Structure 1
Amino acid sequence: MTEGAHLLIVDDERAIAAMLDQYFSMEGYKTTVASDGRDALSAVDAAARGALSPIDLVLLDVNMPDMDGFATCKLIRERLACPIIFLTARVEDADQLDGFAAGGDDYVLKPFSLQVLGSRVRAHLARESRREDPSARVWFGGNLSIDYAQRSVQISRGDGAEVQRLDLTRTEFDIVALLSKKPGRVYDRTFIYEQVWGWNADGDASIVREHVRRIRKKFAEVGLEDDPIETVWGVGYRWGLQ
């Protein structure tokens, strides 16, 4: 996916937008530049209509007039599932939580190195490409694997000869699959509930906490040292293993 991927660059500072456009174009990417949130949403809608090629990743400035990056991200996330990287000079924890809650995947602080930003973009696109094949078994952290087609989670030990399969319920696997397909992305409990149980389910998002507790217990029972599900206090959960 990296070669020829389509990047949407959103920044109200024309010099920065032009610099990013030139750099990523020279790196072989397709690029579309938007000067504000409304322009960005127009580009997303154009891609949905087929007027532009599908957008594979969004570089999104946080500090923009009228509609800031967080508000723009929420609206983009309603339309796209691709990675969104915030470009920001704001480093407070609260800002990061706001960004993750809005649906962002990563932060790059201004001023940034183009080479570093390029590496982050490639990493996200490569990871996204790896998730696109639902029949593939994906390995996390060296000894945990998920087979999305077979709906199984396995832990291997030593040289891999000893393999133990987790006994997950349908709902538990659906939660693991949702989180693991986008490592590092933070999902709030309401979103997880809506995705796993359905929009019209009769219940409460607080039930997600109990299911995550059970999943963690099952991971611990098979001796997995690192809990792959991380709690982001005040927001929700994310998959911590790459």
Structure 2
Amino acid sequence: MKEKILIADDEEDIVSFIKDFLEEDYEILCAYNGEEAIEKAKCNPDLILLDVMMPNLNGYEVCSIIRDIVSCPIIFLTAKHEEQDIIRGLTIGGDDYIAKPFSLRELKVRIEAHLRREKRSYNNKRARLYFGDLSIDLKGNKVYFKNEIIHMTKKEYKIVEFLAINCGQVFSKEQIYEKIWGYDAEGDASVVAEHVKKIRQKISEYDSKRDYIKTVWGVGYRWEKWSM
């Protein structure tokens, strides 16, 4: 079965151009505005190519909304090259950022790299990790407190998973950034602290008595070992 890619861009020529290049290897879904992209995201694509500068709902807004629907990689396509734009896109749940105009060959290589990473991540997982009443479903990419899901963005979940699998080990922000965002990411490791803050806030709504992610001042973060 072919992997499914959603292309969302208000410029129909660009959508058609990318579709023609990719459809031999992938099943292609197309959306031409933010609202349509949100609807098509419910079809569970394996990867999303998302234009930033769409009318009504822009790519950043779409990404924030669909992160509650999908956990697949999202690659932003945009003519905006400023550092703050890149950081914003990666912070709200994007996985990669490619500037227009771009090479179709480069785009395809990035798509293949993200899909390979997703497969490796899935195949290497154990079933579930338990830390008292908090558990991490490594196959379903979900965090639970008792039987309730703690809703997280893909990046938030990946940080939790990475730290929890390596429970007790300290990682710097730079190490976490390279692991979760990738070595060739164009953002900044400072986004890790903001993600950790949001993770703590979400977990504390269910369990305010325990700090699962500890800050090791001057070094980084570690997931606390559980003791009864």
TM-score normalized by the length of structure 1 = 0.61
The secondary structure found in structure 1 opposite 2:107 is helix
Give the drift of 1:124: 0.5
Amino acid at match of 1:108: I
Instruction: Tell me if 1:135 matches 2:126.
Output: yes
1:127-147 CA distances to partner (integer Å, 9 max, x unpaired)? 0110012139xxxxxxxxxxx
Contact preservation (8 Å) 2:215, 2:221: no
Residue 59 of structure 1 corresponds to which residue in structure 2?
Answer: 49
Residue 199 of structure 2 corresponds to which residue in structure 1?
Answer: 192
Residue 113 of structure 1 corresponds to which residue in structure 2?
Answer: 103
Contact preservation (8 Å) 2:4, 2:47: yes
Give the drift of 1:101: 1.9
Residue 79 of structure 1 corresponds to which residue in structure 2?
Answer: 69
CA–CA distance in 2 between the matches of 1:122 and 1:24? 11
Amino acid at match of 1:131: S
Q: How high is the sequence identity, in percent, across the aligned residues?
A: 34
The secondary structure found in structure 2 opposite 1:67 is coil
Give the drift of 1:168: 0.6
Instruction: Identify the match of residue 3 of structure 2 among 2, 5, 8.
Output: 5
The secondary structure found in structure 2 opposite 1:211 is strand
Residue 35 of structure 2 corresponds to which residue in structure 1?
Answer: 38
Contact preservation (8 Å) 1:13, 1:35: yes
Instruction: Identify the match of residue 101 of structure 1 among 75, 91, 106.
Output: 91
Distance 1:131 1:40, change over 3 A: same
Instruction: Tell me if 1:211 matches 2:201.
Output: no
CA–CA distance in 2 between the matches of 1:103 and 1:36? 19
Moved over 2 A (4+): 178-187, 189-192, 197-205, 210-218
TM-score normalized by the length of structure 2 = 0.65
Distance 1:198 1:18, change over 3 A: farther
Q: How many residues align?
A: 175
The CA RMSD over aligned residues, in Å, is 3.5
Distance 1:12 1:202, change over 3 A: same
CA–CA distance in 1 between the matches of 2:221 and 2:68? 33
CA–CA distance in 2 between the matches of 1:181 and 1:135? 19
